[in-house]
Structure 1
Amino acid sequence: MHYRQATMEDIEQLCELRKKQLIDEGGVANRLIDDELRQFFTSKMQDHDLIQILLEDEGRIVACGALVFYEFPPSFSSGSSIKGYVTNMYTEPNYRKRGIATTLLEKLVEVAKARQVNQLWLGASELGKPVYKKFGFQESDVWMDYIIE
């Protein structure tokens, strides 16, 4: 097994992994999102706003995790206006409970440091929450959502 950064050639597999992740988290596949996913991955990877780390076993991607970089206005509390959103964390069921998600997070932190990003955030599923807490992520009541209809 080896870790590597995703390339444009991986986009179709990234789309499939993202759909598996969403279903694992309780999502219902009630519409086709393939074109939207392809467009997202293509755009973000071309702009270097997304770094996706993959774990391969015998040529097959079995786990992944990503950072999407967002620029915010500077603030007094943060040394960098770029923050990293951890997303697309997924491990195939047969590979879980082996520390893979933790290793993916470590690699994403390395990427963040190289980009001089000093703050990461994420939306944790119930499955992932214990992993993130153990890694050192803190729960926060800072974020609020608004759905535009």
Structure 2
Amino acid sequence: MIEYRRLTEKELDRFIDMRIHQLREEGAKEQLNLVPALRDYYSRHMADGTFVSWLAFDEEKIIGTSGMSFVEKPPYFQCPSGKIGLLSSMFTDLDYRRKGIARELLSRVISDAREYGCGTVQITASDMGVKLYTDYGFVHNGNFMQYAL
């Protein structure tokens, strides 16, 4: 039976390992050891409530992850609160895919974003995740651009 629990410091190292596995699976090129930066980020933002995560467990094995970072920018017409949820770390172990686990994790972090007061949730979706997000009600925003510093 699949159990869902919030991420705590106790699972953080396993969560980070899965995040790095996810990045590799999505084709990221490793240029440095990302573990210290991830540990610092998650620890700080879990402590101040601006990062939440739900995990899916099969007994004590983590089989799915989710994450939501909360940011704020000046209010705009589509998001009058200015509070935005940035969805990340959506990952399901290969052996557990297509069983509704990602959808359940997504539902839980979306609920957290709603509770935080977010007016919108955004994600840069992998090819694999587009169907999940579209089925859930996400729409493409063709204006997204990025500038690397």
- Asked if TM exceeds 0.5, the reply is yes
TM-fit CA distance, 1:100: 1.0
Secondary structure at the aligned position of 1:3 is classed as strand
Partner in structure 2 of residue 140 of structure 1: 141
Structure 1 residues 83-115: Cα deviation after superposition (integer angstroms, max 9, x where no partner): 101100010000001111111111112111211
**Match of 1:56, as an amino acid?**
F
**TM-score, scaled relative to structure 1:** 0.94
Partner in structure 2 of residue 11 of structure 1: 12
Matching of residues 1-149 of structure 1 within 5 Å: 1-148=2-149
Secondary structure at the aligned position of 1:146 is classed as coil
- Take 1:147 and 1:79, find their aligned partners in 2: how far apart are those partners? 28
- Take 2:32 and 2:124, find their aligned partners in 1: how far apart are those partners? 22
Asked if 1 retains the 8 angstrom alpha-carbon contact of 2:26 and 2:126, the reply is yes
- Take 1:41 and 1:105, find their aligned partners in 2: how far apart are those partners? 18
- Take 2:120 and 2:77, find their aligned partners in 1: how far apart are those partners? 13
**What is the aligned length?**
148
**TM-score, scaled relative to structure 2:** 0.94
- Take 1:52 and 1:95, find their aligned partners in 2: how far apart are those partners? 19
Structure 2: gaps (5+ residues): none
Q: CA RMSD in A?
A: 1.2
Structure 1: gaps (5+ residues): none
TM-fit CA distance, 1:77: 3.0
Asked if 1 retains the 8 angstrom alpha-carbon contact of 2:82 and 2:119, the reply is no
Q: Provide the identity percentage.
A: 28
TM-fit CA distance, 1:10: 1.7
